Amino acid sequence: MTATSDNDSAISATRERLRWWREYEFWALLLLVVGVYFTRPTTLSLRGEESRWGNIAREMLQSGDFIAPRQQGVVFANRPPLTNWCIALSMTITGKFDALTVRLPTLVSTLLTTLMLYVLGRRLLSRTGALVAGSAYATMGQVLQLGRHAESEAVLTLFVTASLVGWLACYRRGAAPWITWCVGYGFAALAGLAKGPQGPVYFFGASWLFCLAFDRAFWRRREHLYGLACFVAVLCIWQVPLIYTAGFRDAMRIWFAETTGHIAIAIPLATRLTHAATFPWEALGCMLPWSVLLFGYGHRSVRDALGDLRRPAQFLAIAMVIGLLPLLIAVYARGRYYMPLYPCAALLVAMVVEVCVVRAKERSLHLVWYRYLKGASLVVVGAALFIAAVSILPSWSQHPFAQSPAVVAGFALAAALTVWICRREWSRSSNPSAATTHWAALSLAGFCGIAYTAVIINSLLARSGDPRHDVQRAIAKLPSEARLVSFSTIHHLFAFYVADVDGRTIERADPVAEADSVSRTWEYFCINSTELPRQLPFRWEQVATVSVDRNHHEQPKEYVLIGRKLSAGETIAQEPSGKFVR
């Protein structure tokens, strides 16, 4: 009778986990991500490599070649093209070529990763734990930054999460071995198509090491070979035509150029040791404010209370260590390279909350969560006071974080509401409640989202340039039907906004072969400032200059010069200086 009752309880719990779409926590996470990431998505101009990936996607649509990524017709052997495919799909659906279209795959990837953490987290955790996992990932500092820009990290993170957490969820719930391995390897292959060997290494290292340590029989099953076959098949769909189209050398460069570029050889030992010692702290800083809860594993009582979560926690910890090791070796690695494993950290954070709030029977465990909320509340109050001070005090009026009175008032109100909700939670330390825990996690996540979406974006906007306006002003000086050419690959930000403003495509030309007026089919050209001064084999005049710096400078570090080639006998009052002129 007891066994039957226990079996019925297990079946009921499983059915409850499968009904995640009926749980308000899932929809709360959806609203959180939409509110944070889908508001002000194009307030900041394109930055970093965003415009490059947009240009490659646009060129794919124009040429019909979706195999080899190209810039102005030249193969760009830097990374596989899955991110470009996603942007091209976004352009096809919207019919536009602008900043929102380019960033849409990243925004959707961030949303899907957050919701996936909740859905797969429900296979391991309660509704409270799954909610904390999704909230933590969506509002980590680095995710708030890169989760809205058209870089490859968000897409890569989506597929790395699907491979690692998907494999873990299938393994933990006793799914058929062939399904477990095919899920892991299939999504690992897609992660490889997003940014190269990084994603597959994470899955291979984590799953193999975990199985060899705890379940060798599962690793030796023949179904494991089915997963490997799935991995190879997914990669070959793109790799085989790539070798045929671009050649073996460029195919290998696409996979390994970026990876090998970050591994410097002639680096002093002291620099290497300094990087290895500081990078883990940098990674933890990128995951604030939630990474503080990872120190909960330093308490023996927390580790002892894990129970059936011990094996999943070990798998996630192994994955994070596997991902950390190569970044300790690569001296120039940055915290953003660790972002694909932030979801693993979010689940580990959720497990701390799970054992300290949901499963805890001792008040000492409750205190881990409540002390964290108290500390977070102090930081929230400090942030609100800081923003108010730099915005109100005359001596700090030019501070980059100075805000308008409306933003200061709204930010202070959000801080007060967050502290009030968190205080309600820690005041119930002797009688924890799931509802108050949910509200505390969501309020803290919401405050982080507001801090970035309002305050930080405003501060970045205050010092950012406006390349679209500058390009629009420069292009207005050219005849509407005039061809615009470059003699090498022009800066991707300039090329993007030229296409965005009036749909022009900048073609490549040979200045030597087309130097004379007979063979010339173009009149206007553009050239990167890094290529100046350059002796061109013809006389020319300067038409306009466009800054391509991320931030506004009176004298930019990088700019694009637009010039006009003079016809034979044509005179000009002043020789071009080749310098930036605003």
Give the separation between CA 30 and CA 245, rounded to whole angstroms. Answer: 41
pLDDT band of 315, cuts 50, 70, 90: very high
Q: What token pair was written down for 268?
A: 């002093």
Looking at residue 572, its pLDDT comes to 67
DSSP string, 405-455: HHHHHHHHHHHHHHHHHHHHHHTTTTS--HHHHHHHHHHHHHHHHHIIIII
Angle between helices 342-353 and 127-138 (to 10 degrees): 140
DSSP string, 354-400: IIIIIS--SHHHHHHHHHHHHHHHHHHHHHHHHHHHHHHSGGGTT-T
Looking at residue 4, its pLDDT comes to 40
- Is the pLDDT at 14 greater than 60? The verdict is no
Looking at residue 2, its pLDDT comes to 43
* Mean pLDDT, range 123-145, rounded to an integer: 94
- Is the pLDDT at 32 greater than 90? The verdict is yes
Q: Per residue in 60-116, pLDDT tens? A: 999 898 998 988 888 888 889 999 999 999 999 998 888 999 999 999 999 999 999
pLDDT band of 255, cuts 50, 70, 90: confident
- Is the pLDDT at 283 greater than 60? The verdict is yes
Give the separation between CA 287 and CA 280, rounded to whole angstroms. Answer: 11
Instruction: Identify the sign of the CA torsion 84, 87, 93, 96.
Output: negative
- Model confidence, pTM: 0.91
Provide the residue type at 89 as one letter: L
- Is the pLDDT at 512 greater than 90? The verdict is no
* Mean pLDDT, range 551-563, rounded to an integer: 86
Percentage of residues of the chain with pLDDT beyond 70: 90
* 240-244, 261-265, 505-509, 532-536: least confident range: 261-265
Looking at residue 520, its pLDDT comes to 58
Query: 563 pairs with which residues across the strands?
Result: 525, 542
* Mean pLDDT, range 350-366, rounded to an integer: 84
Percentage of residues of the chain with pLDDT beyond 90: 52
**The pairing of beta strand 507-508 with beta strand 484-486:** parallel
Looking at residue 16, its pLDDT comes to 54
Give the separation between CA 146 and CA 273, rounded to whole angstroms. Answer: 28
Distances in Å between the alpha carbon of 35 and those of 101, 111, 153, 189, 351? Answer: 18, 11, 21, 32, 26
